[in-house]
């Protein structure tokens, strides 16, 4: 049987049962039903990529929580800059939770300097205290790493040493103020170096500072752990010899085709592009986002489809051991990804290109209200898309 490149990528995803670099140890979930969450950061946040993965996963994993997310990333920003615009760009939104991802610019792209580190720490501490004073739950992310191969100057000054030092202080402040946190730097650097050991030309940070989609997926994995996200629950398991199952029931079985249905609604799939599958696999994110499916009592090899969408080809032994179902096969998952992107872009336009430039306009509140109404509509669309549904699983020999 010929397997297309797209299907082959999905097969690799589904077979990665325990490949991980960062261990999946989850904190207590930070979110509560109805929370308003601001994702606060610099240009890496403004890329609207890791923020999209976080929203997408949380909306798929916890659809009943009805959360709202807002991206408040600003290119070139620093911890003191974030403090200065806190009221205008964050508290305006009346958030319950704010994630902080600063440090890349705070280091000044120079060698390790304790004065620079102290300045970052002092301003980050002021930022945390200002948010806590408003009864906002704070999540602290360390800055990520840079790729010396893409910027020799950053290698010459050993900028990752600066970023690591900033991260140590960020985590120390999170501990001091009892905030949830995530170390982005070390898992990101470890994954990048592991890939470079395989292919010296590899990069997930094309300009040395701003990650591509794969890099953001690696970051999102550790960030979600810091947010207390829990792995997707299993789709179910069934023994076709006895007909007994957990979450699954046999509908029909012939020599060439088997049809199985879930006995209850299952969560919407988390989608990522097939070309980022290696990042989901190597970072361990599959253990978080890909639910397991077990089907025993078979022989031979089968094409597996869910709701008529081809997932991949698997042997009976693989199915009996359990396969992780990556979301790259799902058009529904991709639509959730796309609507989330448009929601972020729509809010960004209203905030940066309308609300800020038109300060003082008499009708500004009406304009902002209509922009927020559109944001609410897109949120409702995401909720409809992520509503759990029963699924039909088909195995074709």
Write the CB contacts of 199 (distance below 8 Å, at least 6 apart in sequence).
none
SS3 55: helix
Domains in the chain, ordered, with CATH? 1-24+233-397 (no CATH), 25-226 (3.40.50.1110)
For 1, other C-beta atoms within 10 Å of its C-beta total: 6
What are 180's strand-pairing partners? 139
Of 112, 108, 110, 88, the closest CA to residue 40 belongs to 88
First to last CA, the chain: 10
Question: What's the pLDDT tens digit per position in 19-67?
Answer: 333 334 445 579 999 999 999 999 999 999 999 999 999 999 999 999 9
Residue 27's pLDDT is 55
Q: For residues 302 and 290, give the distance between their C-alpha atoms in angstroms, rounded to a whole number.
A: 20
Residue 47's pLDDT is 98
For 301, other C-beta atoms within 10 Å of its C-beta total: 15
**The token pair that represents 326 in the structure block:** 């990556």
- What's the helix, strand, coil split of the chain in %, to 5? 45, 20, 35
Helices 159-176 and 185-198 pack at an angle, to 10 degrees, of 150
Of 292, 300, 318, 328, the closest CA to residue 396 belongs to 300
Residue 11's pLDDT is 35
DSSP structure string for 233-247 = PP-EEEETTTTEEEB
**DSSP H or E run through 370:** helix 364-386
- Count CA within 13 A, CB hemisphere, residue 264: 9
> pLDDT tens digits for the chain (397 residues)?
333 333 323 333 333 333 333 334 445 579 999 999 999 999 999 999 999 999 999 999 999 999 999 999 999 999 999 999 999 999 999 999 999 999 999 999 999 999 999 999 999 999 999 999 999 999 999 999 999 999 999 999 999 999 999 999 999 999 999 999 999 999 999 999 999 999 999 999 999 999 999 999 999 999 999 999 999 999 999 999 999 999 999 999 999 999 999 999 999 999 999 999 999 999 999 999 999 999 999 999 999 999 999 999 999 999 999 999 988 999 999 999 999 999 999 999 999 999 999 999 999 999 999 999 999 999 999 999 999 999 999 999 9
Strands 257-262 and 392-396, bridge-based pairing: antiparallel
Write the CB contacts of 357 (distance below 8 Å, at least 6 apart in sequence).
none
Write the CB contacts of 254 (distance below 8 Å, at least 6 apart in sequence).
none
Write the CB contacts of 30 (distance below 8 Å, at least 6 apart in sequence).
97, 137, 139, 180, 227, 228
Residue 16's pLDDT is 35
Q: For residues 166 and 146, give the distance between their C-alpha atoms in angstroms, rounded to a whole number.
A: 13
Q: What one-character DSSP code corresponds to residue 350?
A: I
Q: For residues 357 and 160, give the distance between their C-alpha atoms in angstroms, rounded to a whole number.
A: 36
Instruction: Provide the H-helix boundaries in 98-184.
Output: 114-133, 152-156, 159-176
Q: For residues 189 and 21, give the distance between their C-alpha atoms in angstroms, rounded to a whole number.
A: 11
Structure-derived torsion over alpha carbons of residues 35, 73, 167, 185, reported in degrees to the nearest 10: 100
Residue 23's pLDDT is 36
Largest CA distance in the chain: 72
Residue 327's pLDDT is 85
Distances (CA, A) of 349 to 49, 189, 200, 346: 16, 33, 39, 5
Q: For residues 346 and 342, give the distance between their C-alpha atoms in angstroms, rounded to a whole number.
A: 6
The pTM for the full model equals 0.91
Residues 397, 301: contact at Cβ < 8 Å? yes
Distances (CA, A) of 76 to 6, 80, 357: 37, 11, 19
SS3 100: strand
Q: What one-character DSSP code corresponds to residue 271?
A: P
What are 182's strand-pairing partners? 141
Residues 397, 257: contact at Cβ < 8 Å? yes
């Amino acid at each position: 049987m010929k397997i297309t490149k797209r299907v082959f990528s999905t097969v690799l995803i589904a077979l990665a049962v325990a490949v991980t670099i960062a261990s999946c140890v989850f904190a207590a979930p930070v979110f509560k039903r109805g929370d308003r969450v601001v994702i606060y950061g610099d240009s890496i946040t403004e890329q609207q990529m890791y923020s999209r993965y976080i929203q997408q996963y949380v909306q798929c994993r916890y659809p009943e929580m009805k959360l709202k997310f807002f991206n408040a990333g600003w290119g070139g920003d620093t911890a003191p800059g974030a403090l200065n615009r806190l009221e205008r760009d964050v508290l305006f939104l009346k958030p319950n939770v704010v994630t902080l991802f600063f440090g890349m610019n705070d280091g000044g792209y120079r060698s390790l300097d304790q004065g620079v580190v102290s300045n970052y720490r002092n301003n980050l501490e002021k930022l945390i205290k200002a948010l806590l004073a408003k009864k906002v739950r704070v999540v602290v992310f360390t800055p990520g790493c840079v790729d010396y191969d893409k910027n020799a100057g950053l290698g010459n000054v050993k900028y990752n040493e600066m970023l690591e030092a900033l991260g140590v202080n960020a985590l120390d402040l999170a501990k001091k103020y009892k905030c949830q946190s995530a170390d982005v730097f070390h898992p990101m650097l470890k994954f990048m170096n592991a890939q470079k050991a395989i292919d010296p030309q590899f990069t997930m940070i094309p300009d040395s500072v701003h990650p591509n989609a794969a890099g953001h997926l690696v970051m999102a994995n550790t960030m979600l752990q810091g947010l207390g996200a829990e792995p997707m629950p299993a789709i179910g398991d069934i023994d076709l010899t006895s007909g007994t199952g957990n979450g699954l029931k046999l509908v029909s079985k012939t020599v060439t085709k088997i049809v199985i249905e879930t006995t209850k609604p299952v969560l919407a799939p988390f989608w990522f592009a097939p070309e980022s599958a290696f990042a989901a696999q190597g970072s361990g994110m599959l253990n978080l986002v890909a639910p397991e499916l077990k089907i025993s009592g078979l022989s031979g090899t089968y094409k597996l489809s869910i709701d008529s969408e081809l997932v991949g080809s698997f042997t009976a032994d693989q199915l009996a051991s359990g396969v992780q179902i990556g979301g790259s096969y799902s058009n529904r998952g991709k639509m959730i990804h796309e609507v989330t992107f448009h929601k972020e872009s729509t809010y960004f336009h209203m905030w940066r290109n309308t609300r800020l430039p038109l300060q003082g306009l008499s009708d500004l509140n009406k304009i902002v209200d209509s922009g927020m109404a559109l944001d609410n509509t897109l949120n409702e669309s995401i909720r409809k898309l992520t509503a759990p549904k029963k699924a039909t699983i088909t195995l074709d020999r």
